Amino acid sequence: AQKITQTQPGMFVQEKEAVTLDCTYDTSDQSYGLFWYKQPSSGEMIFLIYQGSYDEQNATEGRYSLNFQKARKSANLVISASQLGDSAMYFCAMRDYNQGGKLIFGQGTELSVKP
């Protein structure tokens, strides 16, 4: 069965520094997609970045980049130059093509950015 593991329940980072949020996944599929979502205290789920299993380049979106290491089955999110507004829960997810493309989520990492 597919599984997403986020081992960091909570993290702190100083404003303007970079931070890496860990995500490992388990799947026997060759084709899969990996996502990161941000959930601020207001509750909405905000899509950040996507990485396909066949993508040769690591995905980047502004200050977000995904460090994709296929052999290690890891898809870590890197946030550069942290801002106070980055304080939120962050979820890693994987798409399951066997069930209507549902997303399988990790338990999340709560990031706190210190001024």
Partner 1 sequence: DAGITQSPRHKVTETGTPVTLRCHQTENHRYMYWYRQDPGHGLRLIHYSYGVKDTDKGEVSDGYSVSRSKTEDFLLTLESATSSQTSVYFCAISESLAGVSYEQYFGPGTRLTVT
Token pair listed for 25: 């996944």
CA 72 to chain centre: 15
Query: Does the footprint of partner 1 cover residue 52 (CB under 8 A)?
Result: yes
Each residue 8-47 as x (binds partner 1 by CB under 8 A) or -, in order, gives -------------------------x-x-x-----xxx-x
Residue 81's identity, in one-letter code, is A
Compare residues 16 and 111 and give the one whose CB is closer to partner 1: 111
CA 42 to chain centre: 19
Query: Does the footprint of partner 1 cover residue 106 (CB under 8 A)?
Result: yes
* Residue 111 CB coordination number (10 Å): 21
Residue 67's identity, in one-letter code, is N
Please report, as ranges, the residues that interact with partner 1 according to CB under 8 A: 4, 33, 35, 37, 43-45, 47, 50, 52, 91, 93, 95, 97, 99-103, 105-108
